[in-house]
Amino acid sequence: MLFIGLIFSCTPSDKYANKLSERIENPTNTVVLSSEIVWEKLNPARGDQSPQAGTIWGDRKGRKRVATGFLAKFVDGFSSPPHIHNITYRAVVIKGLVHNDDPKAENMWMKPGSFWTQPVGESHITSAKGKEVIVLVEIDQGPYLVRPISEAFDSGERPVNIEASNIVWLNNETTNWIDTKSKAEISFLLESQNLKSLFIRLPIGYKGKILTNGTVFHSVVTEGNLNYTMPQNEEIKVLDTGSYFGSTDKAVHTIENNSENETVLYIRTNGELKIK
């Protein structure tokens, strides 16, 4: 899956370039600030020992059976008992260090910017280390549930683990998803069922646009800060780490890196992008 997305992204295509437009009549752009996220227990059965969860989009509890993204917050030293989940998830470390592996595996701490997947039915533990540990978790359909390892099974899926230092970044010379004048970079993480997961890295001082034609477009700031201009009224929203912007149709996302360092976005979409 990783290589399919990479090969496709690097192939020049005039047809591809013509699909994206900066003229949008009825913009569907939305923003959720990190300060607007409502936190609750991720696993109520564990009481006060449960990590916290804050839904960003979708429905984590599964009442609507839709794709969902949420932040999970862990205390320093947290370690779960061996368990499984009822659904495969994708995750990005935003803050702190996380270990997620077979219950018998030695700790291998993933730092911020790392990406992994946890297959449905596979026994594992999750541990956290750091003053503040926050992870972005994404599922194709709720509910997100914890089950005992007595119910473990092999679904045939295998985990994907990409430590931050192993992320491969592409620039405008190696992918046509980035305009020739842009200094942004992109990393294609995986592609399945017409949906792509990727990182975009914006340099200091970046001011530009992300054009997309997908009916699914979710983006979370995983590092740094952005100024985001709402197309409906030109209002500028300040998005810090953990904030979200998205759209449900062709869209133009006007953004500016207002950090003193690079800003990184995690994106999930069923469309194509052009970073300008």
* pLDDT tens, residue by residue, 81-100: 999 999 999 999 999 999 99
The string of pLDDT tens digits covering residues 103-148 is 999 999 999 999 999 999 999 999 999 999 999 999 999 999 999 9
- Would residue 67 be called left, alpha or beta, if left means φ above 0 and alpha means ψ between -120 and 50 degrees? beta
3-class DSSP state for residue 227? strand
Average pLDDT over residues 170-188: 97
Q: Which two tokens stand for residue 139?
A: 């599922």
pLDDT of residue 19: 62
pLDDT of residue 5: 44
As a whole number of angstroms, the distance between CA 234 and CA 229 comes to: 6
pLDDT of residue 111: 97
pLDDT of residue 12: 40
As a whole number of angstroms, the distance between CA 231 and CA 28 comes to: 9
Q: Which two tokens stand for residue 61?
A: 């509890």
As a whole number of angstroms, the distance between CA 106 and CA 222 comes to: 27
As a whole number of angstroms, the distance between CA 188 and CA 197 comes to: 7
CATH of 37-164, one of 2.60.40.10, 3.40.50.300, 2.60.120.10, 3.40.710.10: 2.60.120.10
Q: Which is more confidently placed, 194 or 4?
A: 194
Residue with tokens 């133009």: 252
As a whole number of angstroms, the distance between CA 5 and CA 196 comes to: 7
* Distances 66 to 58, 73, 139, 145, 158 between C-alpha atoms, Å: 6, 22, 9, 14, 23
Q: Percent of the chain at pLDDT above 90? A: 85
Other C-beta atoms within 10 Å of 47: how many?
A: 8
As a whole number of angstroms, the distance between CA 203 and CA 158 comes to: 34
- In degrees, to the nearest 5, what angle opens at C-alpha 227 toward C-alphas 223 and 231? 130
> What is the average pLDDT score of the chain?
92
Q: Are 22 and 32 in contact (CB under 8 A)?
A: no
Q: Which is more confidently placed, 9 or 51?
A: 51
Q: Is 60 exceeded by the pLDDT of residue 4?
A: no
Other C-beta atoms within 10 Å of 110: how many?
A: 22
Topology of domain 2-33+166-275 in CATH is: Jelly Rolls (2.60.120)
As a whole number of angstroms, the distance between CA 262 and CA 252 comes to: 21
Q: Indicate the residue type of 256.
A: E
As a whole number of angstroms, the distance between CA 273 and CA 262 comes to: 20
Q: Which two tokens stand for residue 205?
A: 């001082």
The string of pLDDT tens digits covering residues 214-252 is 999 999 999 999 999 999 999 999 999 999 999 999 999
Instruction: Categorize the per-residue pLDDT at 184 as very low, low, confident or very high, splitting at 50, 70 and 90.
Output: very high
Domains 2-33+166-275 and 37-164 share a fold: yes
pLDDT of residue 49: 81
Domain ranges within the chain, ordered by starting residue: 2-33+166-275, 37-164
Instruction: Categorize the per-residue pLDDT at 46 as very low, low, confident or very high, splitting at 50, 70 and 90.
Output: confident
